[in-house]
Structure 1
Amino acid sequence: MLLFIILCCVLAIHASEEGKAVQNPTVRSSSGEFLGIYNVTRRGRSFEAYRGIRYAEPPVKELRFQPPVPILRYEKPVDATKNGPACPQPSSPGYYVDEDCLTINVYSPVKAERKASLPVIFFIHPGGFYSMTGRSDLFAPDYLLDRDVVVVTINYRLATLGFLSTGDSLAPGNNGLKDQVAALQWVQRNIAAFGGDPHLVTIAGCSSGAVSVMLHMISPMSKGLFHRAISLSGSPVRKTRSPTHLYPLAVRQAELVGCPTNSSSDIVNCLRTVPWRDLGLSLNRFYEFGYDPLTLWSPVVEADFGQERFLPVDPIDAIRERKMHPVPFIISRTKDEFFWKAFTVLKNETLLRRMNENWEDIAPISFMLPRDNSSLATQRLRQEYNLVDLKNDSDTAYNLGRLYVDAIESFPIYRLTKLMSIHSTAPVWSCFFTYIGNNSFYQDPATKKPVGSAHHDDLLYLFYIAYRFPKIGSQGTDADMVDRMIDIWYNFARYGDPNNRGDTPELDIHWPATSPTTRPYLQIDKQLSIHENLFDQFAATWEELYPIQYY
């Protein structure tokens, strides 16, 4: 009721003195005219919202499996008053999903309150490159817009529609990432009209969005399109080199929808004719063990077939050889990440038995390990994590959960942080989110209470995630965490440095950048604290099993 009253007041403010009907906010850029709506933040601040703007032509029919075609000019005023569709994926009945999904959303303080161009936060949503969306029911800016920033969220093509890669000219791969580039280019052309500074763009992402962020830092297609970067719980630097194609996934997709698999030409030509719903709804049939592997589609290192390549070199080589766009960079992870995946196995007798009896086959699937010559590594990890005899008990749950966390997130992020601390010529900050609040993406089924700081939990204090969680108010420890998190992002977006400069007193500690010799990190909990060398004590085993050259 309070928010309704505030919104009514906001609308009244924007009505004319003559008592005319309330006018929606309108923006005119060099590309066209956009009609938005007014909304309010959690603290009652008015902002403008422009949602569902197409930034590229619909990727349908002959444009399916092709790079995006940017929209440079809108001939008619664009109705940006409501969300566009999510890209194809499994969803609840009635949820708005469509293949014509390449849309961008822009949120900014009302024009009267913008005294100068504002820093821009460009957020790339998570979801494993096969799920989620930038729509406002998942990632609304109601917290961040209490500060003077412009927030941008986007959709990009997912799964087969965005990442089909046959390793040849028919489907070189990475179209979902090229969509992101097209959206960043749209920002450069248009964001000034919405109050944003095109020379002060921070790209931020979580999970697959975090992987995307780092890849933009090394992609020749993204050069000059952003100026700071934030990666939450994701790294493209894993245990071995990135793939050059995803041909087995292309074959699997063809099999699932009844297409021939004799050649890449047969696969691509047939998949181009398959209804998008059939492609989107086939996701759950890609898993090999429960809901593992967590990662299915991924970015690939593109061979040169005459196309513009998003990723022409392996990320490890790019960082080590300094073939990147060095910008100030925050690398973060949560403490418990995917610990809850252990419960999926232990509470299912069939999965528990399969993992126990076929460890060498299942471990590479569940823990995203290289599958060739994996016996030595899988047995070593089973010993190191005390998982010789898996049981549905608390000790096994802890140890198995820790292996999920370390394999999927801790080690890849450790490796990325170490490489960047050595080779980036711009400062890098490391962060460890350990706070457990009133809600979580994993809650105990019996108590309905959070039991860890799970994957995505840091996003709860940056975005209003309306589809699942209540809006956080202005009082309490969760509210304090919102203030702390948005001020870190606000400072970083303004200055390229997350530390307090006098107007963000919630940040009452100096957070030093990392270095090759000592890697300090900020631990975010009810209090902020500084520690050093996150994950170092566990890294030796992983480095021995999957060595790389850091220099």
Structure 2
Amino acid sequence: MMKFILVELLVLLASSSVFSIEVDTDLGRVRGANLTSRLGLTFHAFRGIRYAEPPLGELRFLNPQPVKPWSPKTFDATEDGPMCPQPWDNMTDVSEDCLRLNVYTKDLKGRRPVIVFLHPGGFYVFSGQSKYLAGPEHFMDRDCVLVALNYRLGSLGFLATGTKEAPGNAGMKDQVLALRWIQRHIHRFGGDPGSVTLLGYSAGSISVALHMLSPMSRGLFHRGIAMSGAPYNPLQYQNNDIRLAKRQAGLLKCPQEPVKEMVECMRQKPYLDYVNTFKEMFEFSGHPILNWKIVVEEDFGQERYLIESPFKTARRGDFYKVPIITGITEFEFLSPAIYHLRNESIVRNYNQNWEHFAPIPLILERNSTQSRVGSRVLRDKYMPESRGKLEYPKSVKGLGELYSDAIIGVSFNRFLRLMAPHTHIYTYLFRYKGRYSFLINPDNQQAMAFKGPVHHDELLYLFHVGLKTPLLKQEDPENFMIELLTRMWFEFAQKGDPHNKDDEYLKDLNWPRYNSQEKGYLEIGTNLTAKTGDFFLDRYHIWDELFPLSSFC
């Protein structure tokens, strides 16, 4: 009887998520946990590993420093590390000591393709943690190594004064340092440092595109998957964002000049002061979505992330050319359109002074004649039925399409046009609508059944998004989409091509490469359908007339 109990206990421990596994690295030993994939396979999870020194004190706002060895101690990586400072329900899960990454692998031996997830969130929210947005259970049914990482956010990650005290882009340099960590250490976890694919969504997708342009990122990855985001909104890149820096300084009760004293004061403030002033950093109802900006850095002796405008770099073709998958959802930013049109104050502001307020969510230059005229033309073109006044629900379709194009679509289309002459691209339009969505009905807080998917919805099939869904199983109706997306993305990560005629799910896939002539793409819905021609081109053409791409290059 006792022997039977002991055997049962060992079996229980072996199947438990707390049953540990250890790996030796050049930095020291790392202890992880055994977890179970969506379809029941065991894999190893090493979570919360430091890849940089905590960006505290004098390191705040500056380039990250590589983590120091922790040997002879064993680093406990059995649970998620903290997320970077941001408003959150449980602030015990937040810390400025957040430059951590998670590594998931099925086997410590061999050399598997590595997929590195760069999380969304506008460069000011979310994380690479497993419990909220980046659960690894879906990808761990594929034969890859998955890495999800944190990077500094908001003012702590992107303060840009145009001086040596805060030159900007610290959060992007965090990503670079994480990629360097992967190059040096991922082989210990069964990963191939010569086969690294960046997978980014929204702000993470903008990051993927920027890593192709940054001299710091060359050679650190080999393919890119850029989903619903690109760095080509109709705004000129600057070498600072002193306006936003001074807004943050004022909220922190720091002097706004001279800059050196302003930054020194901001270095002394607790990170919770940044969190508590988060809402006041936006100009208009949480907008602009892309509030903290990537800048072209001046040379103060630091390693620089961007040395010229991404428009110029891309147009010249002088960038790190890797195969790319990129695409968008059918109804990207429908959600804020619904919420805004149900808000009496926002609707009143729009109806009384559209040309003042609209450029803020549309991410246009402030207080310029071109933006005022442009916003008026855009309203007439997108919402002709609302020339008199915007109202719910009449204006939802038009405002949703306008927000979608302003924040995502136009930039995505320009990314295609700029990259296509120089590298291999597969592009898609995601139209599948499952039971779950990031579009929430304001009346009952349930996933809102509408015409199709919105921003972030593909993530529900690539990851276990604990914020939105239970762990979906094989018998769930979304199973086929999980299988399709994870298999296509894995094939691309493995060889730069999403096809595999020997795979039961992909045997009939015919995904044409995008080029400037046929403009082929894949429509991802209940079926996978190859099509040609730029989608939504009639809408994007309006923007080309108002804000010509040539004026930014």
> Above 0.5 in TM-score?
yes
Match of 2:548 in 1: 547
Does residue 122 (structure 1) correspond to residue 116 (structure 2)? The answer is yes
Q: For residue 165 of structure 2, what is the amino acid of its counterpart?
A: L
Structure 1 gap ranges (5+) = 1-6, 16-21
Match of 1:397 in 2: 396
Distance 2:62 2:286 in 1: 29
Q: How far does residue 281 in structure 1 lie from its aligned partner after superposition?
A: 2.4
Q: How far does residue 12 in structure 1 lie from its aligned partner after superposition?
A: 5.6
Distance 1:394 1:279 in 2: 36
Deviating more after overlay: 454-463 vs 292-301: 292-301
Distance 2:477 2:519 in 1: 28
Match of 1:82 in 2: 79
Distance 2:439 2:487 in 1: 26
Distance 2:349 2:260 in 1: 37
For the 8 Å contact 1:37–1:48, the answer to whether it is kept is yes
1:197-216 superposed matches below 5 A: 197-216=192-211
Distance 2:227 2:9 in 1: 36
Distance 1:548 1:414 in 2: 11
Does residue 44 (structure 1) correspond to residue 44 (structure 2)? The answer is no
Distance 1:468 1:180 in 2: 26
1:375-390 superposed matches below 5 A: 375-385=372-382, 386=384, 387-390=386-389
Does residue 408 (structure 1) correspond to residue 402 (structure 2)? The answer is no
SS in 2 for 1:474: coil
1:374-402 C-alpha deviation (Å, 9 max, x unpaired): 22211111111124223433331111111
Match of 2:24 in 1: 28
Distance 1:10 1:219 in 2: 49
**Cα distance change, pair 189–72 in 1 and its aligned pair in 2 (3 A):** farther
For the 8 Å contact 2:197–2:493, the answer to whether it is kept is yes
Does residue 136 (structure 1) correspond to residue 130 (structure 2)? The answer is yes
Q: How far does residue 408 in structure 1 lie from its aligned partner after superposition?
A: 0.9
Q: How far does residue 406 in structure 1 lie from its aligned partner after superposition?
A: 1.1
For the 8 Å contact 2:405–2:540, the answer to whether it is kept is no
Does residue 67 (structure 1) correspond to residue 55 (structure 2)? The answer is no
Does residue 160 (structure 1) correspond to residue 160 (structure 2)? The answer is no
SS in 2 for 1:267: helix
Match of 2:290 in 1: 295
Q: How far does residue 222 in structure 1 lie from its aligned partner after superposition?
A: 0.7
Distance 1:279 1:365 in 2: 22
Distance 2:54 2:278 in 1: 22
For the 8 Å contact 1:519–1:534, the answer to whether it is kept is no
Per the normalisation by structure 2, the TM-score is 0.93
1:137-188 C-alpha deviation (Å, 9 max, x unpaired): 1211100000100000011100111100001222110000000001000001
Q: How far does residue 261 in structure 1 lie from its aligned partner after superposition?
A: 0.7
Match of 2:518 in 1: 518
For the 8 Å contact 1:31–1:74, the answer to whether it is kept is yes
1:264-283 superposed matches below 5 A: 264-283=259-278
Q: How far does residue 247 in structure 1 lie from its aligned partner after superposition?
A: 0.6
Distance 2:504 2:53 in 1: 41
Match of 1:538 in 2: 539
Q: How far does residue 74 in structure 1 lie from its aligned partner after superposition?
A: 2.7
Match of 1:230 in 2: 225
**Cα distance change, pair 493–11 in 1 and its aligned pair in 2 (3 A):** farther
For the 8 Å contact 1:484–1:507, the answer to whether it is kept is no
Distance 2:77 2:40 in 1: 22
SS in 2 for 1:187: helix
Q: How far does residue 29 in structure 1 lie from its aligned partner after superposition?
A: 2.1
SS in 1 for 2:268: coil
Q: How far does residue 9 in structure 1 lie from its aligned partner after superposition?
A: 9.0
Q: How far does residue 30 in structure 1 lie from its aligned partner after superposition?
A: 2.4
Q: How far does residue 65 in structure 1 lie from its aligned partner after superposition?
A: 1.3
Q: For residue 36 of structure 1, what is the amino acid of its counterpart?
A: G
Q: How far does residue 468 in structure 1 lie from its aligned partner after superposition?
A: 3.0
1:353-392 superposed matches below 5 A: 353-371=348-366, 372-373=368-369, 374-385=371-382, 386=384, 387-392=386-391
Q: For residue 317 of structure 1, what is the amino acid of its counterpart?
A: K
For the 8 Å contact 2:436–2:468, the answer to whether it is kept is no
**Cα distance change, pair 146–547 in 1 and its aligned pair in 2 (3 A):** same
4+ aligned runs moved over 3 Å, structure 1: 7-15
Does residue 432 (structure 1) correspond to residue 433 (structure 2)? The answer is no
For the 8 Å contact 1:46–1:110, the answer to whether it is kept is no
Q: How far does residue 352 in structure 1 lie from its aligned partner after superposition?
A: 0.5
1:318-376 C-alpha deviation (Å, 9 max, x unpaired): 11111211011011111111111112221111110111111110110021112222222
Q: How far does residue 475 in structure 1 lie from its aligned partner after superposition?
A: 2.1
Distance 1:92 1:285 in 2: 18
Q: How far does residue 13 in structure 1 lie from its aligned partner after superposition?
A: 5.3
**Cα distance change, pair 392–379 in 1 and its aligned pair in 2 (3 A):** closer
Deviating more after overlay: 317-326 vs 44-53: 317-326
Distance 1:48 1:191 in 2: 13
Q: For residue 132 of structure 1, what is the amino acid of its counterpart?
A: F
RMSD: 1.9
Match of 2:88 in 1: 91
Match of 1:464 in 2: 464
Q: For residue 483 of structure 1, what is the amino acid of its counterpart?
A: E
SS in 2 for 1:50: strand
1:306-385 superposed matches below 5 A: 306-371=301-366, 372-373=368-369, 374-385=371-382
SS in 2 for 1:272: helix
SS in 1 for 2:334: coil
Match of 2:490 in 1: 490
Q: For residue 400 of structure 1, what is the amino acid of its counterpart?
A: L
Q: How far does residue 548 in structure 1 lie from its aligned partner after superposition?
A: 2.1
Match of 1:4 in 2: none
Q: For residue 485 of structure 1, what is the amino acid of its counterpart?
A: L
Q: For residue 29 of structure 2, what is the amino acid of its counterpart?
A: E
Match of 1:19 in 2: none
Distance 1:502 1:390 in 2: 56
Between the aligned residues of both structures, percent identity stands at 40
**Cα distance change, pair 518–240 in 1 and its aligned pair in 2 (3 A):** farther
SS in 1 for 2:29: strand
For the 8 Å contact 1:483–1:506, the answer to whether it is kept is no
Q: For residue 500 of structure 2, what is the amino acid of its counterpart?
A: N
**Cα distance change, pair 85–511 in 1 and its aligned pair in 2 (3 A):** same
Q: How far does residue 94 in structure 1 lie from its aligned partner after superposition?
A: 4.4
Match of 2:254 in 1: 259
SS in 2 for 1:85: coil
